[in-house]
């Protein structure tokens, strides 16, 4: 028996990186998974791979900054699986640059993906979970919500905002059996941190499968228990002395 047998999870940004790792981890523990991202082919490939291992997955290509598309993916999840137990708000992006050189369009795009989208998805999940009598929402934040990196203002600000959204959701969801957590990753090897157009980081990295273990722990806690904040990072990462 899996730790998430009978549960339904929706994971945004699940076509690669942290989102894919969490989706695979949840599916391996028996959850039916709604996979959400913009890249349809990547999503369908992941859904097919999960199905081959005996799991259930639904690929839902969407732009989660769009209110109408977010409403559509949640409706499709209910139509296929009849319920929603877990939401993981993982979709994210970053733009580097000094504050005085940033384009407004870049600021708006990062805030839309990293903060507007989690709000839109949380709103839909709350509506469903209230009717069900409970559920769990996990937001993927960043250690940049506490110790910022230079030339990363939009990303830093958005992750501070995720902290506030998490606490607001946890407070408002409490009377309805809805918990909300934020998982703050340190350096995690993914397309966002490792790509051909970016010099390799000299800092230690952890793998998405290792971070996914923390998300699984959050997801499998008893309904009356919540891990409100968690910081997971490589031991050797220069986190405690930075900022």
Q: Is the dihedral of CA 40, 183, 87, 116 positive or negative?
A: negative
Q: What are phi and psi of 47, to 5 degrees?
A: -60, -40
Catalytic site includes residue 155: yes
The answer to whether 59 and 20 have CB atoms below 8 angstroms apart is: no
Catalytic residue among 26, 74, 81, 155: 155
Q: Is 200 helix (H, G, I), strand (E, B) or coil?
A: coil
Q: Which residue, among 116, 110, 93, 89, has the nearest Cα to 183 in the 3D structure?
A: 89
Q: Which residues contact 148 (CB under 8 A, 6 or more apart)?
A: 156, 243
Q: CB 115: neighbour CB atoms within 10 A?
A: 22
Going from the C-alpha of 106 to that of each of 94, 95, 96, 150, 184, the distances in angstroms are 9, 7, 9, 16, 23
Structural tokens at position 91: 């979709």
The answer to whether 187 and 144 have CB atoms below 8 angstroms apart is: no
Helices 17-28 + 208-219 axis angle, to 10: 50
Active site residues: 155
């Amino acid at each position: 028996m899996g730790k998430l047998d009978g549960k339904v999870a929706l994971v945004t940004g699940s076509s690669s990186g942290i989102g894919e790792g969490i989706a695979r981890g949840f599916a391996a523990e028996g959850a039916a998974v709604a996979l959400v991202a913009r890249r349809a082919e990547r999503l369908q490939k992941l859904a097919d791979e999960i199905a081959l291992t005996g799991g259930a997955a639904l690929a839902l290509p969407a732009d989660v900054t769009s209110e109408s598309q977010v409403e559509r993916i949640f409706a499709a999840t209910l139509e296929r699986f009849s319920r929603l137990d877990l939401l993981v708000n993982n979709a994210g992006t970053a733009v580097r640059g000094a504050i005085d050189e940033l384009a407004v369009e870049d600021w708006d795009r990062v805030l839309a993906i990293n903060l507007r989208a989690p709000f839109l998805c949380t709103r839909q999940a709350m509506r469903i979970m209230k009717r069900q009598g409970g559920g769990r929402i996990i937001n993927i934040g960043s250690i940049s919500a506490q110790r910022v990196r230079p030339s990363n203002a939009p990303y830093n600000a958005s992750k501070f905002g995720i902290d506030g959204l998490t606490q607001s959701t946890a407070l408002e969801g409490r009377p309805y059996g809805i918990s909300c957590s934020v998982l703050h990753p340190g350096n995690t090897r993914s397309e966002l941190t490792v790509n051909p157009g970016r010099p390799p980081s000299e800092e230690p990295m952890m793998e998405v499968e290792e971070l996914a273990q923390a998300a699984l722990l959050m997801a499998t806690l008893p309904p009356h228990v919540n891990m409100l904040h968690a910081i997971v990072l490589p031991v050797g990462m220069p986190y405690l002395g930075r900022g």
